[in-house]
Structure 1
């Protein structure tokens, strides 16, 4: 009887080990589930957009001046020159940081600190601290001629935008065997004075692309705390908006709502295609289509053609068609026809009422996990 009880206990422990192993494997293989933000949505109706392009003037700090001084002691009135050197001016450095999402906080004129001038008793001036300006990951810096001088595509990358001037030498530096009491020193050099165009080329992991009034802003409001303007007329979105989608494994996906495209946007019709630079490094593209309109597959053809005119590499990105406005008439009838005419996965939703939005978020997470490492090259 004793051996039987012991055998049953071993069998129970064995089964518990198998169940625990299976649960760990299932947890490791599962996809993070979207969760609602714990912070309440703002009661105000303020529209917050971000600055993605700025023209800045960058001035490096000037070096400190050297000092002319002669040491006088109680026992030796002519102890010799003791003028110290000036400190170096500070550089102005751009650093890519994931904690910054736009260029709103970047001033148009950025000046570095100047070095401290030298003093007597061979005391050199203090070097100025470098001024580090945080910019979003994916920022491209162009010089005055329009040439790209740096691409801050990874976290922690730095670019010296303007070098600080060197500090001037004091008169003790110029002592020679011939000249024992020089009365000369150097002024500190001026820092570089340059102009740049700072452009954010990568703002989101997923880009929402669609014709005007397709429901992109409504969808962004439904999946994030962003507050883009929503109105029943075209071109309510004049600037890109950004929203963050949170998941239960603490992963966050940035989604960008871009202004609507129209036919011949590549010819600068409508708002043009100047905002499509943000989608060049997105992990995925979501085509938001209004399936309640006649022949919605024609809208997808227009969008794909305009993207091809801007950059042919868009065709190699993961793409999903979001069949929006399923709550309206004729949407159910157009959906099967839309699926049969395109070669992309289709997720039918209603952004206004939140229908099937969770499935779309799970699809976004699966694409993000497969392509996030390849989105920035």
Structure 2
């Protein structure tokens, strides 16, 4: 069904473009490379609670306690003093992070991660059972920082593991302490506690496209129109406090993730508003999509302020590939602002209306073009 839908959409696009080329005498196009975003195959969920995207979290990893050793003496019917037979305790479990394709964020990761304790030893030289390790699946590309902020783990490949906290070793029973001189020891070891370490886990890359703009610029409405995501939409500033992610699927089975990031305000690099947290979200996106409110007075100043914040944050954030769209062109006074915006900005500006669905198909084509261009540059630099 998916392949048939893609072919039908591509066929209609082929007929329309062929007519334009025949009438205008334009250059010939390779239609085999044309791609079109598919419509969602099922309606959005009706659940009320919003599902946000967690790309960074501070966690505490606690290894399991080792099992205690046992003090016991064997008594047989023929020998009431057969000697010590206390077994050792089992080892405590480790807390392990494992890179996996099964998860995409840290919503399932708790703030405190504890491993199981080892079982205590028993009589008749029975050793306690070793505890199972607590394996926490994290997305591929997870970076693990210690309390000082230093990177101690980089899970860049599938099934790569990082031991966050080691469990305690099992305590020795009194059989272990038997010697030639001390044949009946009455001592054993308690199982030590496991490691207790705090970490900060971060995603190296959270989305292919990140929506950047002032509060109430229409970013959540745009994500709602392009994907099946359900970010909160309301006519007031700072509606989005945490990132939301949606996926766009094209007819050649390529999927592009789009992130709705919290709104940026002036002096964000000084941690004003959501500040540094917002800029860290943007740093984990490959392509930046600037969403400007065309109905606002002088929207070109918004773009200049956004670029200023990205430059002040440092790194390569300001030099990332970017697209610029002017939202809300269906409102009054937007036409004049849109023309002035096109004249002032060096980058091409696309006028859209996320609420009315105007020019969204052209926007998806531009996103795919920028995505393919970035992938081609990555392959050439390898």
1:243 aligned partner: 246
CA RMSD of aligned residues (A): 2.9
Question: Which of 57, 63, 67 matches 1:64?
Answer: 67
Cα distance change, pair 83–271 in 1 and its aligned pair in 2 (3 A): closer
Question: Which of 110, 129, 133 matches 1:130?
Answer: 133
Cα separation, 2, equivalents of 1:282 and 1:144: 25
1:259 aligned partner: 262
Alignment of 1:45-194 (within 5 A): 45-194=48-197
Cα separation, 2, equivalents of 1:127 and 1:45: 43
Deviation at 1:225, TM superposition (A): 1.5
Aligned length: 350
Contact 2:264-2:278 within 8 A present in 1 as well: no
Cα separation, 2, equivalents of 1:364 and 1:333: 25
Contact 1:202-1:277 within 8 A present in 2 as well: no
Contact 2:37-2:250 within 8 A present in 1 as well: yes
Question: Which of 229, 234, 252 matches 2:232?
Answer: 229
More displaced stretch, 157-166 vs 290-299: 290-299
Cα separation, 2, equivalents of 1:306 and 1:370: 25
Cα separation, 2, equivalents of 1:157 and 1:31: 37
Alignment of 1:265-344 (within 5 A): 265-344=268-347
Does the alignment pair 1:210 with 2:213? yes
1:19 aligned partner: none
Deviation at 1:297, TM superposition (A): 2.6
Cα separation, 1, equivalents of 2:137 and 2:278: 22
More displaced stretch, 319-328 vs 334-343: 334-343
Deviation at 1:111, TM superposition (A): 1.5
Q: Matched residue of 1:315: which SS?
A: coil
What is the TM-score when the length of structure 1 is the normalising length? Answer: 0.81
Q: Deviations over 1:25-70 (max 9, x none)?
A: x89x636532222221234554332444544332210111122333
Q: Deviations over 1:216-248 (max 9, x none)?
A: 111000011222222233222232222222233
Contact 2:261-2:282 within 8 A present in 1 as well: no
Cα distance change, pair 194–370 in 1 and its aligned pair in 2 (3 A): same
Cα separation, 2, equivalents of 1:335 and 1:278: 28
Unaligned runs of 5+ in 2: 1-29
Cα distance change, pair 120–154 in 1 and its aligned pair in 2 (3 A): same
Cα distance change, pair 276–201 in 1 and its aligned pair in 2 (3 A): farther
Q: Deviations over 1:190-222 (max 9, x none)?
A: 111223344455422210001122211110000
Q: Matched residue of 2:221: which SS?
A: helix
Cα distance change, pair 107–299 in 1 and its aligned pair in 2 (3 A): same
Q: Matched residue of 1:231: which SS?
A: coil
Cα separation, 2, equivalents of 1:37 and 1:148: 39
Cα separation, 2, equivalents of 1:148 and 1:93: 16
What is the TM-score when the length of structure 2 is the normalising length? Answer: 0.80
Cα separation, 2, equivalents of 1:166 and 1:343: 64
Question: Which of 347, 350, 365 matches 2:350?
Answer: 347
Deviation at 1:162, TM superposition (A): 1.3
Deviation at 1:362, TM superposition (A): 2.6
Unaligned runs of 5+ in 1: 1-25
Cα distance change, pair 283–53 in 1 and its aligned pair in 2 (3 A): closer
Deviation at 1:143, TM superposition (A): 3.2
Deviation at 1:110, TM superposition (A): 2.1
Deviation at 1:186, TM superposition (A): 1.6
Deviation at 1:298, TM superposition (A): 2.4
